[in-house]
Amino acid sequence: MSKKIIDALNEDREFELGAIMQYMGHHYLADGMESPAIIELFKKTGIDEMKHAEMLAERIAYLGGSPSTKPAPIMKGGELRKMVSDDLSAENDAIKRYKKHITLCDDEGDSTTRLMLETILSQEEEHADLWERTLGLKGKK
């Protein structure tokens, strides 16, 4: 299969691995009066990202590649609003990256990988919506 697709999927996997570390770090370190409900959102979203990383690894292996184990850089700590803002920023970056890689799959004629990435993209958009609502940004664009 296409080396370009394998490379794109490994890039996505590295960002998913970084997202897992970022979300779980936020889950462990968040505190304050608003944190109990948000801590669970960090954990749930981190688990979603774990599933994405696994899907990507399985597809990379199927295509004959070697799944990356190197996480992308992460944002650490700060007050709760900063953590949520960092997570929203990471989700928005993921949305752009997945859209670009979906186009690559179309160009390369790989409809199976495209469908998988569209599924992940949909979930990343749900995550971005969650953090926008949490920050009170919904409808203020």
CA–CA dist 109, 103 (Å, integer): 10
SS3 of 1, please? coil
Amino acid identity of residue 104, one-letter, is: L
Classify domain 3-134 by CATH number: 1.20.1260.10
- The confidence band for 1, taking pLDDT boundaries of 50, 70 and 90, is low
Domain ranges of the chain: 3-134
Q: Where are the alpha helices (DSSP H) in 63-110?
A: 80-108
Lowest mean pLDDT among 35-49, 50-64, 100-114, 119-133: 35-49
pTM above threshold 0.95: no
- The confidence band for 94, taking pLDDT boundaries of 50, 70 and 90, is very high
Burial 24-48 (b: 16+ CB within 10 A, else e): bbbbeebeeeebeebbebbeebbeb
